[in-house]
Structure 1
Amino acid sequence: MTTITLVQGDITRQSVDAIVNAANSSLLGGGGVDGAIHRRGGPAILAECRKLRASHYGKGLATGRAVATTAGELDARWVIHTVGPVWQGPGSDPSLLASCYRESLRVADKLSARTVAFPAISTGVFRWPMEDAARVAVETVGDMETAVEEVRFVLFDERAYEAFAEQVR
């Protein structure tokens, strides 16, 4: 049984087996969580991302998919990069958002990771409404069969924390 934990704070400060990055499809860094992970993790993460782009992911990582790299200088063993969907307005299909969580946990299982920290994927510049994103995240993780023992949602501000707390109750 996977335990779901909520933390308000900085995902780059978590001590876990794997930190999930709400990545850019380019895998080459960006803003928000992606930029913070690349900055704090150091050049080793970018170097591995460049190798992935030069081999399997020449066109970038597809939305809803996940891939792992080293965690560099973060207090983790791996960073699992996943590309969330952009909110297109009412009627947007949440299946790609759910896929980010499922695929990240599948990668974590392949790595034998037991603790995984997730951000609120797609809720920043990709504009997915926080309450809906929290519902999709918590339901998907709760329904997933995984060997991961703890999924830690690391939420940047009080609004995000409260939205996720409503879903965990």
Structure 2
Amino acid sequence: MESSSSSLLLHHSCFNPKFGKRPLLAYPLMRNPRNRKPTRICSNKMYVPGFGEASPEAKAAKHLHDFFTYVAVRIVSAQLESYNHEAYLELREFLDTNSVSDGDKFCAALMRRSSRHMKIALRILEVRSAYCKNDFEWDNLKRLSFKNVDGFNTKLMREYVLETSHVEKPDSDT
């Protein structure tokens, strides 16, 4: 009796052995499962839904790429301000009408404006590459990311516990 009930339980379980024991509940959320490429079944990493073909790391890399463009624009702008004020004003004027939120789109538009703007754009591309490869502190980014996540998690949990518990806060008067 016990073995038949356990096999019945396994048969009606929310886990499907075809998909590496991932819950079936996640699959109705997929838009078109027939067009999906096969995913790696054996992984010790966390499954992150909603990123399509890109991983969270690929999304973060895209944001960093755009951020490096922003940093390069700031560096080039400061350089031009000190030694070529006319080019600085042209870059500032371009920045007033064009967003740096998509770094590649920004640089492509700058390149096509004029030959003078092309030189500025090439300088931005050069600085972006150099900053990414030589000056950006990758280890510091990782350390600060860990510190921020842990610190804010602890802060939010502490605030929640204080809000939901009936412990009175100590008076600072005494």
Higher Cα radius of gyration: 2
TM range (shorter): under 0.3
If the length of structure 2 is used for normalisation, what is the TM-score?
0.24
> Which one has a larger percent strand, Structure 1 or Structure 2?
1
Relative contact order, CA 8 A, sep 6+: which one is greater? 1
